[in-house]
Amino acid sequence: MGEPNRSRLLEYTEGPAAAEAPEVRRSSLLDYAEATPPPGPSADGRPGPRPGVPPYETPVFVPAHPRYVDVVDDDGRPVRVPFVVYELFEHPARHTAAYAFTTVEKLVAAFGEAQPWVLTSIGPLAEALGERGATVVLDPKVAPGRHNWQPADVAAYAREVR
C-alpha cells in the first residue's frame, strides 16, 4: 500500500511519501452489500452475484471526463461526437483499475475538487472493464496530495474542446 497510484491519463511527478500512513478503513459499500438480502437467480436463470458483492445497479462515482471526435456524417457535414473516458490507474496489487467511490465526497477527498467524474452503476462498469482485463477498486486508498486534475487543467481542457 505504500506505493502511490499513477494515472494513465495525466502523468505527474512523485512527491514525498506521507510520514505516517492513515488507517485503512473498510469500504462502506461492503456494509451496504452485506445489509442487502442475498439475491436470487435472475429471471433468465443466470445465478445472481456472490454474497458480499454489491447489487448490479449500485451507483458509484468514477473519475472520468468527456472526449470528442470530429467526424463527417453521411451527408458530408462535420459532426462532433461526444463520449466518456474512464480514467484508469495502475494499482499495485490489481494492475489496471478504475477507482469507484460510494460518495462524491470520498472522490473529492481522494482526487480534489477539480477531478471530473461520472455517476454510473457498478455492474456495467465492472463488466466493461473485465472484458478489457481491468477491474474496479471500491473506495480505494489514494496517496494524499496527488491530484491529477488542477483547476487550471480543467480550464485548459474546456478551451481545448470548444
The percent of the chain in helix, strand and coil, each rounded to the nearest 5, is: 20, 30, 50
- Residue 67 is predicted with a pLDDT of 85
pTM above 0.85, yes or no: no
10 Å CB burial of residue 150 (0-12, 13-18, 19+) is middle
Over the stretch 75-134, which tens digit does the pLDDT of each residue have? 999 998 888 889 998 877 768 899 999 999 999 999 988 999 999 999 999 999 989 889
- Residue 16 is predicted with a pLDDT of 42
Over the stretch 150-159, which tens digit does the pLDDT of each residue have? 888 888 888 8
The mean pLDDT value of the chain amounts to 76
Q: What percent of the chain has a predicted confidence (pLDDT) above 90?
A: 28
Q: Which residues contact 152 (CB under 8 A, 6 or more apart)?
A: none
